[in-house]
Amino acid sequence: MVEMAVVLPIFFMVVLGIVEFGRAMMVGQLATNAAREGARLAILDGSTNTEVEDSIKDFLQTTVGVAPGDVTVDITVVAAPGNENDAGNEVGSAHPKDLCKVKVEIPFDKVNFIPGSYPGGKKLVGHSAMRHE
């Protein structure tokens, strides 16, 4: 009985740590998937930054359950060699072959199962980049 009282709390801490680490890995992968889906939408003619951000936030709200206000989306358009750099970071103004980069950040404390300050403000990040059509 005494051995169980000593070992059981440690065992539960290890199991809960494994669960939290698994959750972080899952949400990180879903952030990468959301960035990929956003990049696919960004490379199409007629897309706008607002459409891309809304699509990413809807995807993450559906799959992870994170509020859209907690998701940060950063869209960057890099001009291809030979193209003018007049698009800024608007995907609607991007030229063919311009590189559209999408970065998605989710604070870990918004998606963890066990509340606490262990991750200390860490963010789960997903990146994707594709060439504009």
Q: What is the pLDDT of residues 50-105, one digit of tens each?
A: 999 999 999 999 999 999 999 999 999 998 888 887 767 889 888 899 999 999 99
CA dihedral 70, 87, 46, 38 (to 10 degrees): -30
For 97: left if phi > 0, alpha if psi spans -120 to 50, otherwise beta; the answer is left
CA distance 72 to 85: 25
Residue type, position 91, single letter: V
CA distance 29 to 37: 12
Q: How many CB atoms lie within 10 A of CB 122?
A: 12
pLDDT value at position 40?
96
CA distance 114 to 133: 43
**Whole-prediction pTM value?**
0.87
pLDDT tens column, 8-44: 999 999 998 898 889 889 999 999 999 999 999 999 9
70: which 2 tokens?
């907690």
92: which 2 tokens?
């609607």
pLDDT value at position 47?
93
